[in-house]
Structure 1
Amino acid sequence: MDDIQKHILAERALAAARRCFANRYTGAAFAYATGSLLRGEGTAFSDIDLVVVFSSVERAWRESFTHEGFPVEAFVHDEETLAHYIHADAESGCPVMASMVATGRVVGPDIKRAHLVQAKAAAMLAAGPQPLAGARYDMLRYQVTDLADLRGTRPPEEIAAIAAQLYQKLADLILLGRGEWTGRGKWAPRLIGRLDAQLAAEFDAAFRLAAGGEGARLLAFADGELALHGGRYFEGFRQDAPLEARRLE
């Protein structure tokens, strides 16, 4: 698909999002239409992400459906529930909702209010994640250490399974450990690539080899990242259970 075709598809998706908003979410104040289709990066199989905002809802919800041939993932909120999820994402270091709001195309009648909310989300993204520190930092270091269980001889299928578990945690350590937002799924390699193309190439090569049963390069890569944070973290790790974690039979 060339750039012209992608642009045409993006405009079709935006028009469909506007009609979807008007027909399905009567009374909503505004929405943000976003996703790869709207950015001109989508394919024939991409969906529309639609963040819908009412003046008030009893509880937020999400739903999936098809509209005019486009798969749609809708996230329905009022401003309070939207703020909750934006800030929860920020605390996790993975700003999914904030990114959708900040990059979305505004749909609906209350354009002024939509832009105010959008500006807050964009400012939060620009400020970057909270510094990786304390118990959260210790847990991530421990998880990467624990999951990088690639020393010694293992069958190829176990190495591939270990790599699958390790991928996200190691990506989190790479990005959050450098003061960058992290991402889930396809966003993890994209964000690492934007940060450092060479690092992304090494990350990808190590996991490709591990998926084929060769774990030495992934182990070396993980140990290299851990070395930036004081090395492997096992000795001295402790996690206390919640006080309420008990059950009387």
Structure 2
Amino acid sequence: MKNLKRLNAVEAAHHFIDKHFPNCQGSVLAGSVVRGEETETSDFDIVIFDQNIRSSYRESLIEFGWAIEVFVHNLFSYKPYFENDVKRARPSLPNMVSEGIILKDEGVMSSIKKEANELLEKGPEEWTEETIKIKRYFITDTLDDFIGCTNRAEELFIANTLAEMVSVFVLRTNRNWIGTSKWVVRSLKNLDEEFTKDFVNAFDVFYKTGDKSIVIELTEKVLKPFGGKLFEGFALGKESL
């Protein structure tokens, strides 16, 4: 992927549109290159809006010296993706559209960007008390597994699961969008930088030294405002007599 002569991302994206989607009604360039966070291995994302496309699709290509992820929609197919992203609280497509640099616009991008921005500003649906209760139980169960485990290999994977569960719990109970991979830390930072430092440090210490105490303390602290750990009395799917 190293190519000192390759075009910059915006130029490459324009060439890509001209070559593959010359008749599209709109397109945006998104991803790390837009945020100024690209690395030597970064790709870039292009979202296409073309009224002649029958159904949406995604494709990965290498052209103009870049790895390119292209997300293709017609002028209606993107809407169910927006809705699904809101339901899962991970707004991948709305984020791309919102932050994206417009490459082409034949009068459609303003309204689509407005839709994306409004969804992002509104945030995900608030968790119900029942959902919070269920999440508390499963975090408690995983934490107890983590505490009691003496097998290093198993501990590593339990810790991974616990980290994901706790991060999602913190974000969703604060009505914030969630993320995966690197976006977990970015989403947490957007909410609370100090907590994020504590969160990363807790798991970093465990992975380096095997000391579980900071992870345990952090997890219990996260659960405390919602009633703490939960096991006894929890029931799921039980019918009342």
TM-score by length of 1: 0.84
CA distance in 2, matches of 1:54, 1:135: 42
1:126-159 C-alpha deviation (Å, 9 max, x unpaired): 1122111155444433332232222235233222
CA distance in 2, matches of 1:25, 1:138: 48
CA distance in 2, matches of 1:58, 1:233: 49
1:220 pairs with 176, 200, 217, which one?
217
Which range moves more in the overlay, 134-143 or 163-172? 134-143
Classify the secondary structure of the residue corresponding to 1:37: helix
Does the C-alpha gap of structure 1 residues 209 and 77 become closer, same or farther in structure 2, counting only changes over 3 Å? same
Q: Is the 8 Å Cα contact of residues 34 and 99 (structure 2) preserved in structure 1?
A: no
Does the C-alpha gap of structure 1 residues 119 and 109 become closer, same or farther in structure 2, counting only changes over 3 Å? closer
1:179 aligned residue: 175
1:205 aligned residue: 201
Letter in 1 for 2:120: L
Does the C-alpha gap of structure 1 residues 135 and 24 become closer, same or farther in structure 2, counting only changes over 3 Å? farther
2:141 pairs with 146, 150, 165, which one?
146
Counterpart mapping for 1:159-178 below 5 A: 159-178=155-174
- Is residue 124 from structure 1 mapped to residue 124 from structure 2 by the alignment? no
1:69-116 C-alpha deviation (Å, 9 max, x unpaired): 111111111232211111111111111111111100112241x31121
Instruction: State the identity as a percent.
Output: 25
| 5+ long unaligned stretches in structure 2 | 1-5
Q: Is the 8 Å Cα contact of residues 27 and 105 (structure 2) preserved in structure 1?
A: no
CA distance in 2, matches of 1:23, 1:185: 32
| 5+ long unaligned stretches in structure 1 | 1-8, 241-249
Paired residue total: 230
Classify the secondary structure of the residue corresponding to 1:108: strand
What RMSD in Å do the two structures reach over aligned CA positions?
2.0
CA distance in 1, matches of 2:138, 2:71: 31
Q: Is the 8 Å Cα contact of residues 32 and 106 (structure 1) preserved in structure 2?
A: yes
Letter in 2 for 1:238: L
- Is residue 238 from structure 1 mapped to residue 233 from structure 2 by the alignment? no
Does the C-alpha gap of structure 1 residues 58 and 141 become closer, same or farther in structure 2, counting only changes over 3 Å? farther
Classify the secondary structure of the residue corresponding to 2:69: strand
1:114 pairs with 109, 122, 130, which one?
109
Q: Is the 8 Å Cα contact of residues 159 and 210 (structure 1) preserved in structure 2?
A: no
1:102 aligned residue: 98
Q: Shift in Å at residue 33 of structure 1? A: 0.6
1:225-247 C-alpha deviation (Å, 9 max, x unpaired): 1222222233323159xxxxxxx
TM-score by length of 2: 0.87
Does the C-alpha gap of structure 1 residues 153 and 109 become closer, same or farther in structure 2, counting only changes over 3 Å? closer
Does the C-alpha gap of structure 1 residues 162 and 64 become closer, same or farther in structure 2, counting only changes over 3 Å? same
Letter in 2 for 1:71: A
- Is residue 63 from structure 1 mapped to residue 54 from structure 2 by the alignment? no
Does the C-alpha gap of structure 1 residues 229 and 57 become closer, same or farther in structure 2, counting only changes over 3 Å? farther
CA distance in 2, matches of 1:161, 1:193: 24
1:32-82 C-alpha deviation (Å, 9 max, x unpaired): 110111222211211111111111433211111112111111111123221
